[in-house]
Amino acid sequence: MEPGKPDELYDLEAAAVKKLDMNSSLINFEALADENNAVKAVRRVPERVSENDLAVYRGWMLSPDKYKLLYDALRSKGVHLINDPESYKHCHYLPEWFHLFEGQTPQSVWLDKASLSNNPMDAVMERLQAFGSSPVIVKDYVKSEKHRWDEACFIPDPSDREHTQRVVLKFLELRGSNLEGGLVFRKFVNFKALATHSKSGMPLTKEFRLFVLDGTIIHWFNYWEEGNYGDSVPPLDYFADAAKKPLSRFFTMDIAQTEDDEWLIVELGDGQVAGLPENADVDAFYRSLSEQLSRPQ
Ligand SMILES: Nc1ncnc2c1ncn2[C@@H]1O[C@H](COP(=O)(O)OP(=O)(O)O)[C@@H](O)[C@H]1O
Ligand SMILES: [Mg+2]
């Protein structure tokens, strides 16, 4: 937003990198996202001469096509982003990774953008039959409107067409042209609760974000800033095998425990665009990242 400076949200991350033996450069996000100008976006990135200059992007989410523009522009400067465009999409879009974790993640159905163009509710109701009258949540292939929980996320009875339509249309209106991929509906699971969000009424679940690099869980965070986690820690051993499945070098796995004590995967994300919680120990995260990156593969 200001030339030559990282956006405020990334200040601490930029500072953390400077403390380590790593180089960093700024990307002009607006040039990429708004102008489709990847060459301008990477202008500040110096050309590299060595063949394998590995880089990690840390910043705002990018649609898969924008990520590919960034990836290609950096490649032509000799800089190789850790995830190629296919790997980025694989963890970014739920329908891409879902099949790896059937049974370990809430049951889900989806509809691509193309099938939403005229009268989407017929197609939506048809897909929703899979859930009978059990509650679901709606999101797109990447994000939900979880902060508008009752209005645009939670569907208490998906066989109730009128209520479902209200939530779905509100969700589509809020996403607008930022809708990624299409619509996803997921069976609502009773996750263990921490609290109810003070502003939005959204249930806060005892959820953790695991960062995985080259199949190893390198770092984890409490997903929410508010709510009392006590001294609970995520079962890293339990997810060690799951962490090896996605076709991506660097990704996140959000996990939560159900009321019946079962641990499930809530969602995956690309590690480059996954946020860190506000109270995170950013330096410790970058130390973990740097240590694992310098291990021989
Ligand atoms: N299937 C589900 N059952 C119950 N709660 C869910 C389910 N999926 C998501 N949630 C809750 O909604 C929140 C947002 O969902 P998530 O898929 O992580 O979307 P976002 O990408 O917007 O973070 C989660 O952190 C979790 O608390
Ligand atoms: Mg999430």
Which DSSP string do the residues of 77-124 spell out, in sequence order? TTEEESS-HHHHHHHHSHHHHGGGGBTTB--EEEEEGGGGSS-HHHHH
Cα dihedral 286, 289, 292, 296, rounded to 10, equals -100
Sequence-distant (≥ 6) Cβ neighbours of residue 56 within 8 angstroms: 81, 82, 250, 271, 272, 289, 293
User: For ligand 1, is residue 184 a contact (CB within 6 Å)?
Assistant: no
Which ligand approaches the C-alpha of residue 143 most closely?
1
Q: Per-residue pLDDT averaged across 5-22, rounded?
A: 95
- 232-246 pLDDT, tens per residue? 899 999 999 999 999
Q: Are strands 53-55 and 79-81 parallel, antiparallel or unpaired?
A: parallel
Contacts of 17 (CB under 8 A, 6+ apart): 24, 286
Q: Is 267 in the pocket of ligand 1 (CB under 6 A)?
A: yes
pLDDT of residue 40: 97
CA dist 189 and 182 (Å) reads 22
Q: With a cut of 70, say whether residue 297 has pLDDT above it.
A: no
pLDDT, residue 199, reads 65
Distance 184 CA to ligand 1 centre (A): 12
Task: Return mean pLDDT, the chain.
Answer: 94
Q: Is 106 in the pocket of ligand 1 (CB under 6 A)?
A: yes
Domain 107-187 listed as CATH 3.30.1490: yes
- Give the number of the atom of ligand 1 that is nearest the alpha carbon of residue 205: 27
Of the bound ligands, which one is closest to the alpha carbon of residue 98?
1
Predicted local distance difference test score (pLDDT) of residue 3: 82
Q: 44 CA distance to ligand 2 centroid (A)?
A: 32
Q: Token pair of 222, please?
A: 């409490």
10 Å Cβ neighbour count for 243? 19
Taking the C-alpha atoms of residue 165 and residue 183, their distance in angstroms, rounded to an integer, is 13
Strand 182-187 relative to strand 136-140, pairing = antiparallel
Measured over the CA atoms of residue 124, residue 130, residue 136 and residue 141, the dihedral's sign is negative
Supply the pTM of this predicted model. 0.95
* 3 state SS of 237: coil
Residue of minimum CA distance from atom 24 in ligand 1: 266
Is the shortest distance between the CB of 189 and ligand 1 below 6 Å?
A: yes
> Which pair of structure tokens corresponds to residue 62?
């990018």
3-state secondary structure of 183: strand
Number of CB atoms found within 10 A of residue 105's CB: 23
Domain ranges of the chain: 8-89, 107-187, 191-293
Give the architecture-level CATH label for domain 191-293.
2-Layer Sandwich (3.30)
**Ligand with an atom nearest the CA of residue 184:** 1
| Ligand 1 centroid, distance to 118 Cα (angstroms) | 28
Query: Ligand 1: which of 109, 144, 183 to mutate, judged by most atoms within 8 Å of the beta carbon?
Result: 144
Lowest average pLDDT, out of 26-30, 155-159, 203-207, 212-216, goes to: 203-207
Q: Is it true that 107-187 and 191-293 share their CATH fold?
A: no
Instruction: For residue 204, give the ligand 1 atom closest to its CA.
Output: 27
Please write the tens of the pLDDT for every residue from 100-153: 999 999 999 999 999 988 889 999 999 999 999 999 999 999 999 999 999 999
- Is residue 268 in contact with ligand 1, taking CB distance under 6 Å? no
Within the chain, what is the greatest distance between any pair of CA atoms?
Answer: 60
Spatial contact of 204 and 226, defined as CB atoms under 8 Å apart: yes
How far apart CA 52 and CA 31 sit, in angstroms, is 26
